[in-house]
């Protein structure tokens, strides 16, 4: 069974940092493009970042570019999102999601499946 399990969320003060992780199992992690998507009551569902299967290509939403870094460790089946200079508007449930098909190079795609999410709260 394909599983994606996020961790690392929590309460952080504005300007602080947080490192989110996503552990993958049940599939060959190293051949799939992976994504982070967040959800908040005010902003709805919002794509955050994507990384190619090898990690060579990374993409970021304009709203978070420069403040987040996506990375992966294929030897550990792990995806990471390093978040810096956090703001109140970054408060959200952060989901890890997978591309539906394996590919060497990233391409436009939908997300399937999704993890259950990890909650990030930015507040003083």
For position 54 contacting another protein by CB under 8 A, the verdict is no
Contact between 59 and another protein per CB under 8 A = yes
Contact, 31 vs 102, CB < 8 A? yes
Among 68, 86, 95, 120, binds another protein (CB under 8 A): 95
**11 near 121, Cβ under 8 Å?**
yes
Q: Tell me how many degrees the CA angle 113-116-122 measures, rounded to the nearest 5.
A: 125
Binding mask 30-49 for another protein (x = CB under 8 A): --------------xxxx--
Q: Report yes or no: 72 and 63 within 8 Å, Cβ to Cβ.
A: no
Instruction: Kindly state whether residue 27 participates in binding another protein, applying the rule CB under 8 A.
Output: no
User: How many residues of this chain interact with another protein, rule: CB under 8 A?
Assistant: 22
Sign of the torsion formed by the C-alpha atoms of 39, 77, 32 and 71: positive
Binding mask of the shown chain, residues 99 to 118, with x at each position contacting another protein by CB under 8 A: -x-----xxxxxxxxxxxx-
Please report, as ranges, the residues that interact with another protein according to CB under 8 A.
44-47, 50, 59, 61-62, 95, 100, 106-117
């Amino acid at each position: 069974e394909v599983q994606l399990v996020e961790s690392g969320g929590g309460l952080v003060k504005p300007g602080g940092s947080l490192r989110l992780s996503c552990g993958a199992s049940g599939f060959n992690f190293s051949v799939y493009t992976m994504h982070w998507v967040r959800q908040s009551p005010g902003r709805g569902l919002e794509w955050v970042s994507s990384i190619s299967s090898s990690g060579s290509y990374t993409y970021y939403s304009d709203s978070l570019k420069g403040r987040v870094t996506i990375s992966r460790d294929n030897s550990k089946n792990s995806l990471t999102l390093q978040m810096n200079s956090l703001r109140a508007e970054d408060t959200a449930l952060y989901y890890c999601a997978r591309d539906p098909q394996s590919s060497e190079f990233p391409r436009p795609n939908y997300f399937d499946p999704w993890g259950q999410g990890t909650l990030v709260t930015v507040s003083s």
